[in-house]
Amino acid sequence: MPRDGPPGLAIMSPVRSIETDYLVVGAGAAGMSFTDALLSHAPADVVMVDKRPAPGGHWVDSYPFVRLHQPSACYGVTSRVLGTDRIDEHGTNAGFYERASGDEIRDYFAQVMEQTLLPTGRVTFLPLTEYRGEDADGHHLVSRFTGTETVVKVRTRFVDASCLQSEIPARHALPFAVEGRVTVIPPNGLGELDDVGGSFTVIGAGKTAMDTCCWLLEIGVDPDRIRWIRTRESWLFDRAVFQPLERVASYMRLQADWVEAALAAADASAFGHDLEERGAYVRIDPAIEPKIWRGATISRAEVAALQTIENVIRQGRVAGISETGITFAGGDQVPSGPGEVYVDCTAAGVPPVPTTPIFAPGRIALRYVTVGQATWSAAIVGTVEASGADDATKNRLTKPVPMSGEAAQMLEVVHAGLLSEVARARDAELLSWNQSCRLNPGHGAAERMADDPELIAAFSAMVTAIGPALRKLGGRSEVAAAPA
């Protein structure tokens, strides 16, 4: 019978049927990390599907100058290292653990698939294949390439590994109108430009816009030729406090500061300012109260570079761009010169993820169970799934952390993150796995403790503050949940 194929084609193809223990939808970083952890602990077989042609998710389409914002040492899957744990010597990451480029990450996930998962003989990967939903026959997959339909019977669980998926400029629809001969490109298009006569307008307040501005400055664009439409300000982690391995004391100090600041803070704003005073948070414009917090890290050298861009426009969301300039949603207009290049960085990046329970009969929906660490969270869920516990226990060990991107919600994030972590710390087997898991930025801290007074001090400060902080944050959420 005819099936949907590429536009304009009706393809005649048979429907094939397969069976598997787990069907994992999404072979991005989260799906890969979940599957790697599951297979390390359980004798299961897995079918993985992704609409994209290769594993790696959004990294497959990322802009050429993208990098992890955190160290490679704690990103990817548990069973394979990413990078060489080098400390960078130059550039804005000097003095910090290396951060993989887009090419390195794509290559890494191709290796994880080709050299780790497929050789187990327990994984089938279907690229360019779209998951279309479930009915009484099973789960329906359609090849975007051939139109072939596959129906999958799932013996154990359907795993939605697309829940944390990133929205990136190369793949999203422009959220504003464009009229006339105007150059509007995603950051991916910057390398294709020749002889830019005009200036650059970077649109967006997130990490992609920061990366784009840093790259423009690095290749020699004068800061006066850059306008930055940055409606809201972000709190960002100083990369110096997010260092693993030999420098894990910095990360443990961050954990202590995080809990102490939450204990002291009257509200999310006070929490942010306290962490700024402690040196853990930074922001680009110290005169503006941040409204965004997505858990991104940045170096102070990058912040200093970004502060050289003085033409920052804060007139709200862009509604349209024409040959004469920009119209904002509130009606304001800002003129543009000829040859202006607009770089669209408005994609949501990591959109808000629901916090409904992860485990349900026959299903898993991946969520953050740590603060902003997608691959560590997915590995935890894969490991907990393989534990053989009942779903109520599994859900208790993997309480979702609400990553909404809003600074106003930071204390809810601290509370959920601590509850999730404390529940896992009470499970001896999971605690021992977690302490050695390479995706945990604090891994190895326990072994280094004896020789490092800084680590001992950070650890004891955290242990002292955690109980009172949990009681206080629990009280806050009871107040928030109480009927008016």
Ligand X SMILES: Cc1cc2nc3c(=O)[nH]c(=O)nc-3n(C[C@H](O)[C@H](O)[C@H](O)COP(=O)(O)OP(=O)(O)OC[C@H]3O[C@@H](n4cnc5c(N)ncnc54)[C@H](O)[C@@H]3O)c2cc1C
Residues that bind ligand X (CB under 6 A): 25-26, 28-31, 49-52, 57-58, 66, 68-70, 75, 130-131, 161-162, 164-166, 168, 208, 349-350, 373-374
Using the minimum distance from each CB to ligand X, give the nearer residue, 69 or 394. Answer: 69
Q: 125 by DSSP, 3-state: which?
A: strand
Q: Give me the amino acid identity at 416.
A: A
Per the CB < 8 A criterion, the answer to whether 349 and 206 are in contact is: yes
Cβ 35 to ligand X, closest distance in Å?
11
CB nearer to ligand X: give 167 or 277: 167
Q: Closest CB to ligand X among 25 and 410?
A: 25
> What span, in angstroms and rounded, lies between the C-alpha atoms of 261 and 246?
25
Amino acid code (one letter) for 216: L
Which distant-in-sequence residues (6+ apart) come within 8 Å of 416 by Cβ? 355, 399, 400, 401, 402
To ligand X, the closest distance from the beta carbon of 191 in angstroms equals 16
d(CA 240, CA 244): 10
| Tokens coding 253 | 């100090």
- Which of 73, 473 has the CB closer to ligand X? 73
- Spatial separation of the C-alpha atoms in residues 249 and 448, rounded to whole Å: 9
Looking at the Cβ atoms of 226 and 345, the one nearer to ligand X is 345
Shortest reach from residue 400's CB to ligand X, in Å:
14
Closer residue to ligand X, CB minimum distance, 23 or 470 = 23
Q: How far is the CB of 320 from ligand X (least distance, A)?
A: 26
Distance CA 155, CA 283 (A): 49
197: left (phi over 0), alpha (psi -120 to 50) or beta: alpha
Shortest reach from residue 441's CB to ligand X, in Å: 10
Cβ at position 108, least distance to ligand X in Å: 12
The gap from C-alpha 155 to its chain's centroid, in whole angstroms, comes to: 30
Q: Using the minimum distance from each CB to ligand X, give the nearer residue, 55 or 272.
A: 55
Where are any strands of DSSP class E within 317-386? 318-322, 325-328, 333-335, 341-344, 359-360, 363-365
Question: Burial code of 424-462, b = ≥16 C-beta within 10 A, e = fewer?
Answer: beebeebeebbeebbbbbbbbbeebbeebeebeebbebb
Residue with tokens 């999203």: 172
Q: What are phi and psi of 44, to 5 degrees?
A: -95, 165
Q: Among residues 325 and 357, whose Cβ is nearest to ligand X? A: 357
d(CA 362, CA 434): 26
Q: Which is nearer to ligand X, 122 or 207 (CB)?
A: 207
Phi, psi of 78 (to 5 degrees): -65, -40
The minimum distance between CB 303 and ligand X, in angstroms, equals: 17
Least separation, in Å, of the C-beta of 252 and ligand X?
19
- A 10 A CB-CB count for 337 gives 10
180 phi-psi bin (left φ>0, alpha ψ -120 to 50, beta other):
left
Tokens 């920009």: give the residue: 326
Separation between Cα atoms, residue 229 and residue 201, nearest integer Å: 7
What's the start-to-end Cα distance of the chain, in Å? 57
Q: In the complex, what is the shortest distance from the CB of residue 84 to ligand X, in angstroms, rounded to a whole number?
A: 17
Tell me how far, at minimum, the Cβ of 15 lies from ligand X, in Å. Answer: 17
User: Measured from the CB of residue 350, what is the shortest distance to ligand X in angstroms?
Assistant: 5
Smallest separation, CB 76 to ligand X (Å): 9
Is the CB of 18 or the CB of 456 nearer to ligand X?
A: 18
Q: Which is nearer to ligand X, 51 or 225 (CB)?
A: 51
Q: Which residues contact 140 (CB under 8 A, 6 or more apart)?
A: 131, 132, 133, 134, 149, 150, 151, 152
Q: Which is nearer to ligand X, 204 or 455 (CB)?
A: 204
